[in-house]
Structure 1
């Protein structure tokens, strides 16, 4: 069997003004027990103490750049171009790997599953209130269904470099915070890409700024879905309606069950309700068009 250390892993962090979190993620990367690891940090010209914190670890960082950029996905694409790894992992400034064997275990998994091009695992979610939950993403055959109302955990995924440079392409820089979702949709709908779920807790993700994110991400994700050819087929239009129905029902239950997240879920529910009604109208138009074409 090929030595797993021959697999080069590039870990990428993009940040700006992240002094409260950046050291935790850096330590979680540089303390990995895997030797063939390349760490790249792209900073968007931070004005707080982020840069001084990063500079303490320069001896263990392969590439560090601090300069103004055009947004998070511009920075991520920049990092991809600098990377030399066989597989790439993006972990945000306020996230971190859960232990120091994550990369070693993932490299071993890659060796044992040589056809895998995109490996994703489990994620711990940290709420501002201190509440923790573990998220287990769906198996590969359920990913497209999951992407109707959800997303894959980029903090817990490892992408073969060829996916960016050839098969799927780089991140679309036209979206503020949903380009990873758009990339996952291109990935999951690609006919030849091999996705693999690795049932191992990979990273911890901080879920902050929910309200402001929702106001941008929901309209963006809806626009992405409406522009993606796969989701315009009759089958996926129906699946989207069913998923939105299910999601709205779940939100109603959550609203009744929890006081802590009431404002967040109420806002998300209202936006999804509007989204669902619009989709129903689009589906009705599609069905009418199909009837006319058949007749």
Structure 2
């Protein structure tokens, strides 16, 4: 009988005690039990650590110390992780259903990457709708020419094929991290599930222009300048059309 893989779920948080509680509860509620849950707190000054301690039975490891930003904190999480797979679920985000991971690993147990859809939620947990960008039926590294078609929170990746986040990027290092993982992957599984509930807002949305500039540099590096310029004509059109229609990114 095959042993089910262990998944390291990593939450990075800074001064988000009110959001962290529901994230922890969504992970604790999983029917899948081979979970290593890690929280990396950036030395919060609110009551984040009190929330962590209150849920200590649901947390495998946690640290609270200063970092240089979100990707530095994520790298600390990777260093702490010992599982077969990594899944980043940040404060305010939730796993979609209590049986989500059980469903994922019933599909296959040794894929390099599992991906799915994402539902946006507001601060009260109300569903807003799906992301502007939708996951394709078949995902590979070239798919990201059209933008980050899969949310970072709906991207489960084998730990052995990833590196640390590139700290020269402050807002789009997750884009490059996922792209590199896709380049290295042999088997990529479309779960055809909604994997995560993503809290609308956050660092990326607050710094949308800077993030898009970084993403353009990354895309130019991996796909070439001319193809990136060409794709951005369509990406920009869809971006502003969606924004005008829905009032969100």
Q: Would you call these one fold, judging by a TM-score over 0.5?
A: yes
| Offset at residue 252 of structure 1 (A) | 5.1
Q: What's 1:104 paired with?
A: 102
1:59/1:92 Cα in 2 relative to 1: closer, same or farther (>3 Å)? same
CA shift for structure 1 position 110: 2.9
For 2:100 and 2:9, locate their aligned partners in 1 and report how far apart those are by CA, in whole Å.
Answer: 12
> Conserved in 2, the CA contact under 8 Å of 1:152 and 1:184?
no
Specify the alignment match of 1:187 in structure 2.
181
Unaligned 5+ segments in structure 2 are: none
Go from structure 1 to structure 2 and tell me whether the alpha carbon gap of 1:78 and 1:241 turns closer, same or farther (over 3 Å shift). Answer: same
Alpha-carbon distance in 1 for matches of 2:105, 2:149: 24
Contact conserved, 1:147 with 1:185, CA < 8 A, in 2?
no
| Rounded Cα–Cα distance in structure 1 between residues aligned with 2:139 and 2:79 | 30
SS of the equivalent of 2:44 reads: coil
- How much does 1:185 deviate? 2.0
The corresponding residue for 1:221 is 215
Query: Highest Rg: 1 or 2?
Result: 1
Distance in 2 separating the partners of 1:84 and 1:212: 32
C-alpha contact 2:40 2:73 (8 A) present in aligned 1 = yes
Q: Distance in 2 between matches of 1:252 and 1:117?
A: 34
Instruction: State the partner residue of 2:19.
Output: 21
- Structure-2 separation of matches of 1:74 and 1:252: 31
Q: How far did residue 143 of structure 1 move?
A: 5.1
CA contact (8 A) 2:115 2:156 kept: yes
Structure 1 SS opposite 2:201: coil
Residue-by-residue CA offset, 1:77-132 (whole Å, 9 max, x unaligned): 11111111111110010100122111212222232xx3x20111111112579562
TM-score between both structures, scaled by the size of structure 2: 0.88
State the partner residue of 2:237.
249
**CA distance in structure 1 between the partners assigned to 2:140 and 2:79 by the alignment:** 31
Q: Distance in 2 between matches of 1:80 and 1:70?
A: 15
Q: Which residue of 1 aligns with 2:93?
A: 95
CA drift of 1:75 comes to 1.3
C-alpha RMSD over aligned residues: 2.4
- Structure 1 residue 174, shift from structure 2 partner: 1.5
Q: 1:121 aligns with which of 116, 122, 140?
A: 116
Q: Determine which structure has greater relative contact order: mean sequence separation of CA pairs < 8 Å that are 6+ residues apart, divided by chain length.
A: 2
Aligned to 1:123, the other structure's residue is in SS state strand
Which residue does 2:191 correspond to in 1?
A: 198
Counterparts in 2 of 1:41 and 1:219: CA distance versus 1, 3 Å: same
How much does 1:144 deviate?
A: 2.0
Match of 1:12 in 2: 10
Contact 1:138–1:146 (8 Å) recurs in 2:
no
Q: Secondary structure at the match of 2:46?
A: coil
**Alpha-carbon distance change, 151 to 217 in structure 1, aligned in 2, over 3 angstroms:** farther
Q: Distance in 2 between matches of 1:92 and 1:211?
A: 14
Structure 1 residue runs of 5 or longer lacking an equivalent are: 266-295
Residues 127-169 of structure 1: CA distance to partner in whole angstroms, max 9, x if unpaired?
57956213441133465234443342121121111012xxxx2
Q: 1:88 to 1:244 in 2, by over 3 A?
A: same
Counterparts of 1:51-90 in structure 2 under 5 Å?
A: 51-90=49-88
